[in-house]
């Protein structure tokens, strides 16, 4: 049995692994968290509009 030589190229379809600095990792985490918070704010705004509509309906129903 002959020993296999490690291939110098990564398999097709995969990007080569590039070591990141601690600062790069933290900056990526910050950007990811900003995206999550932005999405949640949009969702919250949508839910608040829905709540306002339902509260208007309640006012109409209570006056009848």
pLDDT for res 2: 57
pLDDT in tens, 5-39: 665 665 678 888 899 999 999 999 999 999 999 99
DSSP 14-45: -PPP----HHHHHHHHHHHHHHHHHHHHHHHH
Residue with tokens 């049995």: 1
pLDDT at 43: 98
Looking at residue 56, the DSSP 8-state letter turns out to be: H
Give residue 15's pLDDT. Answer: 86
Interval 38-63: pLDDT, tens: 999 999 999 999 999 999 999 999 99
Which contacts (CB < 8 Å, 24+ apart) does range 2-9 have?
A: none
Q: How far apart are CA 39 and CA 33, in angstroms?
A: 10
């Amino acid at each position: 049995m002959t020993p296999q030589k490690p291939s110098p190229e990564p398999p097709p379809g995969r990007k080569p692994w590039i070591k990141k600095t601690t600062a790069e990792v933290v900056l990526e985490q910050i950007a990811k968290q900003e995206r999550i918070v932005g999405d949640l704010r949009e969702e919250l705004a949508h839910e608040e509009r829905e709540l306002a509509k339902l509260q208007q309906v309640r006012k109409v129903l209570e006056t009848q």
